[in-house]
Structure formats: C-alpha cells, structure tokens
A and B are shown apart, each in its own frame.
Chain A
C-alpha cells in the first residue's frame, strides 16, 4: 500500500509543474471541487471544526484497521486544502496518522494556510484527525 509520505511526494511532484501562484491555487480549487461529498447526516455540531473565518466538517470512521476521513468546508480554498490532507491521511492505520509529519504543506508553499492565525479551521482539523487516530488506536489495544 502506498504510504503517507509517498502520497505527499506525489502531491509535491504535482505542484512542481506550476510556476505561478495562479496555477497552484487553481489546482487546489480543483481538488476542492472533486472532494467526495459529505453525507448530509454528518453536518452536525460534533463534526464541526470552527475556524474564525472558514469552517470545516470532519467525519471519521474505522474500516479494516484504517481510519477513513470525510470532510467539507464552506470555503473552496479551504476545501481544496482539506481534500489534500484527506488524500494524504485517510485510509492509513491510526499510528501512521498520528506520527505523520505533513511536510508537503511547506514544500508546495502553502505554509501560510497552516499558520494558527490563519483561522481557516485547517490546523484544528489536523489536530482533530490526529486525536481521532489516537482514540481509535487506544480502542484497538483494549
């Protein structure tokens, strides 16, 4: 199975084709548009990751030892970023998710979106994903 880092490298590779910000952002927006829709029943408060400006809904479940993440955002750029994080983290065992170092964000020049003051809900979302992963792995051990 493809590893978290292999997917990150794939994304970095994709972005290397764009030499200006516009291409990069169009690619992010495209991924946002392509993100699988979130089931209506998942738009509930407990899935809401509130940012100050844009917000994210995140649903997590466990399938055959891997964590499955599904999400949506009200802002399309945030949604594109969410789609990339899901592409990297979803479908992996909890420990791998918890230990993942998301270096692709820096490498493709999107670091500013992950700064805490960006308040787009993305940082909180990743934190929540990792917390879920820890939760699942603890449950598994019991």
Chain B
C-alpha cells in the first residue's frame, strides 16, 4: 500500500524529458556534445514549433483578413487566436492591445517613432538607463535628435542595479517617457519595474519595458505592473525568428499615429484623405508574418505546458549552481551581481580576453556569447570592453554547468 507515495518523490520537472523536445540539442559540435549556453541571444525551438511551421505551409497557408474562401478564413482564425494567446500570456486587458512586430527592436522603434511624433517636442526628455540594449537606446536617440529633445540616463551601481534615487531625481515634468529593460541581457538583473512604473506615473509619464529577456523566464502581468508598453521577441522564448510583440495600453495606441502605411492598416483610401483601421490593424501595415505568428502560438502553448512556475524555479536552481561553481574558479569574476537575477551570467577570467575564452569553449562544443552584447554604454560603465556570457534555459542541466567549468579551466590553462 506504499505505492502511491512513490509518485510524490518524482521530480516535478524532468529536464531530460524536456530536452527530447528540442531536436537541435542532440548533436555534436567539433566532435563534442553541444552545450548551448547562448539562450539570451536566441533560444532553441521545440518540435511543436517546428511542426507548426511545417503544418502551416503544408496545409493551411493563405493570406489573412482578406479572402472569403476557406483557407483564408482558417488562416485568419489561427492568426487571431495567437493574438489571444499572447494577450493571456502577459494578461493584457484587450486582444487589440497586442501588436505583431518583427521583434523587440521593431516594437521599440514603433513606439519611439509614433509616440515621439505625437508627444515629444523640443526641450522634452526621454529617460532610459545605462544598462539598455542598443535596441532601446538608438531609437530614442533618433527621436531626440529629430525633435530636439534630450536623452537622460539612469545610472547603474557596481552590482549592476539601477540606482533608484537617481531615477527619481531625473524624473521631471520635462520627462515624456521612461524606457528601461525588465531584465538586463548582459547582467541578468531583474529591475524593480513595478516601482519604476509607479513612480513615473506620479508624473503622468508612461513607461515602456523592453521585456525581451523577461518573458522567456518569468510570468508577467502587464495590468498588475501597470506597464504602458511591453516589448518582447518570439525567438528568445522558443518561438520562431522574425516575430515579436508590442503590447500597448489602448489609450496610448488609440492616440498614437500609424507607424507605417500600407494595406491592412487602412479603413478607406482616396488620394485626398485616408482613414485608418482600428487597433490593432492600424499598426500592422502589409501582409503580416503569418507562419511565424502561428508557430509563435505553438511556442506559447509549449511554455504553458511546462508552466512558468517550474521554469522559474528550475532556472533559479541552475543560476545558483552555476554561480557557485563559476566562482570556484580562481580569477573568475562575475559582472552583474544584483540581488534579483535571471539565469544570465556575464564574467571575466584573469586578464584573458573574452574572444579567446569563447574560441576555446567553442572547440569544446560549448556555445557562449562574447563581446559587449549590444550594451556598449554598460561596458563603458564597468570599464571593460566585453564579457563572456553564459545564459541558461530550462533545457540546460547542472552537468552542462560542470562541462562549462571544466572548459574554462582548460581555457585558463591554454591561455595563461
């Protein structure tokens, strides 16, 4: 009668089973088993996503929102279903607050350009942070240059955390928008975005969150955060490349002018005057990336099937284990030691150049990222030219962390 007890001891999260869902992981690189630790750059795709793409092109393809025929209405239905999935994923209030973009980069550019056109003028200020990805810097620089507005930057402390008091001081009636990342792609820092939003709203300033590195790792609720804009990319969360989401609060999206003109986004067109379509179509000019949207839906379903609770708990365990093991290496220092971190570790070892470490690790089948990770100002802040970055997904294992540590010791031996 003791049998049922055994069930309770089965681990809730079975990483080996999960790994079987990702065909690409099962291969050798330079004759070594692949250890893929570049997930922050882009994560791998489960079979369900690959199959959704194939199924779509094999049996379902047609243009959306246009035809009266069977395939078109089926494609439209599947396509719009994914909007609903994305809405539920981040708990947006309305499906029409979900805009399909090419990715985070296009989402930020859309807001910078369209919000900027309407709400930013000479002498105004845009507030970003020192730890932003270039995608959340350059679009704002372009708008500021265009409008004669000023870019202000929230500084970062030595641990790689935003200095909240400095943020408070920078906020003023000149501030038109705050744009910061939810999770830093270089440091792994999880920023106190709820607090930032609350503070900004005291000044009636909307907040855009670059959530490219948040959605892959943790449950988000844009209503609870009270975020005004929330941007993320499918390819970093197990979905296909070329598709991303801009969430925007209805009240902002309604007021903002279109970003691009073309088909889909119009209501009626005459040479004298064109009127625009309703949300979300006003911001989706042209034939959208239908296939990747549909496969992105499969990625959301896949994430759902595993569950954020297990994902976050398991990744936290991996992060703690990896941090501990890496710090055992003499001369290794971690850049980004915030209290609250996602499973991203940037580090340097002795005086060895990241490029050299990355090259040796590559020979050992280990994929890491080296360089400035598109955060040059942040590198300048730390007085370094780059780091080695290991970023973990829920399909990574502690054994892979051990392989990384062994690889680093080998690199140290060869390069010192």
Contact = CB atoms under 8 A, between A and B. Distances in A.
Q: Answer yes or no: do A and B interact.
A: yes
Contacts of A76: 352-353, 356, 415
Interface stretch (A9-17, A19-27, A82-90, A124-132): A19-27
26 contacts: A22-B414, A25-B359, A25-B360, A25-B363, A25-B414, A29-B415, A52-B371, A52-B372, A53-B355, A53-B358, A53-B370, A53-B371, A54-B355, A75-B353, A75-B355, A75-B356, A76-B415, A77-B355, A77-B356, A77-B359, A77-B360, A78-B353, A78-B355, A78-B356, A113-B359, A119-B371
B297 interface: no
A78 B355 CA distance: 8
Given A21-B30, A26-B414, A76-B415, A54 B363 contact: no
A98 B74 CA distance: 59
A56 B318 CA distance: 37
Contacts of B356: 75-78
Nearest to B362: A112
B143 to A, nearest CB: 26
Interface of B: 30, 352-356, 358-360, 363, 370-372, 385-386, 414-415
Contacts of B386: 53
Interface in A61-83: 74-78
A54 B353 contact: yes
A120 interface: yes
B365 to A, nearest CB: 11
A78 B357 CA distance: 12
B41 to A, nearest CB: 13
A113 B359 CA distance: 9
Nearest to A112: B362
A53 B371 CA distance: 5
Given A53-B355, A120-B355, 8 more contacts: A25-B359, A25-B363, A25-B414, A26-B414, A29-B415, A74-B385, A76-B353, A77-B356
Nearest to A21: B363
Interface string A98-126: 00000000000000010000011000000
B30 to A, nearest CB: 7
